[in-house]
Chain A
């Protein structure tokens, strides 16, 4: 039986990173993800991890230094949140285009303004189309598991893409939870040493980051899109390996009593656990309700998703970000588009919940679940609703 330890999740994530033996970490502190670089710098200072820790003067430089280090063949990690991610923003699409497998833990936090340090998903959704892989953790155990998995996924020769491990700011970063840590030997066995496809070094001269003219740009983008789509195969394999090694199962969409249920709730991240309690309550009342926890955001698990909602009459999609003046929340819009061609798709209600740390309780999920169960297909009352906002 592996040892279980109570630990703040950001610290635990840092410990998980250390188990992966990165060569270079470049980071800049930002709430609510500060504890991660802090604890990593502690681990390096204590001599527990042989790694160059670069505490940069900005997130822009943190991600840039990660590019340089990854380009030189190092295993690289960084962590950020919200405005920090936006400050990296110029570099984010370049990382994926250069196929640099940088693992980034994103402590999800609302984008300013008004300035707000608490949790929602507006940061990650703003970077949705940047060619990065993205997974969402629902609890501390998933955070550390996903951090370790992330290196194996990103560095796979058939993937070579950067990856965001999303963990909700405060709700996860600052929570103390019991966590099972794999041993160093187990991680070494699971995660092979990084062998870069190419690295800048005089022993093997390459030019990285060329100019792409219109005659090749289209092809670059198509190759990149295919790489993201094809990464799903590797992700599923890595998750299978993980289950074999550690016994914990990961799937693109985790069903909580969703099979055969009439009404489905869809959540991502830490709200999944609250929603699961609401589902239990509703089931006790005799409702036919289930929950889908979307773990894999990019690549989007389209086939798995269609299968997961098959037979359901109503689907409540919970978004954690606003697409101002758009057709729905970012997740809602994507799912509506996906199910458009499905003849028996459920009636979709799109709630935007928990913005900037607004609490969403079990009662709220019950209310939304009941309301969504009454939705009639083809007759939506509204495109989406920013749930619980006063003055509406």
Chain B
């Protein structure tokens, strides 16, 4: 439980540092005013639902990342910041933590598996982001649109399929 809180805070700080650094490198300091805005938002929204507030914060962070990239900030730094923001967001979700009354062994196992999976996801994401930023592919716009449409369709299909199968299992 304590480790979760420490990691969540560390993730938040790292994400904020990445954002600051990326914007600082292009000399766009004014946008950093959004960080106190995000903190105020967090304090105002966490009273209702901590996880929803964290989701709002993550969406805002991604939005800032997109604006940063549009202003020629480093994509790799922004992606790294997104990894830490995602890590912090996931750790704020109670679904990843065991209940207070769970047996110690079982509780540790859930948290261990959760942190392991999170570590794998973060590591793979950083590696893929680094690889992707190193690769320079130039594709025609039409191909990019087509690829994006195919990818969106794949995601939507996967989501629908998972929803349908979950519904079937629930009925059974």
Chains A and B are bound partners: no
Q: Which residues of A contact B (CB under 8 A)?
A: none
Q: Which residues of B contact A (CB under 8 A)?
A: none
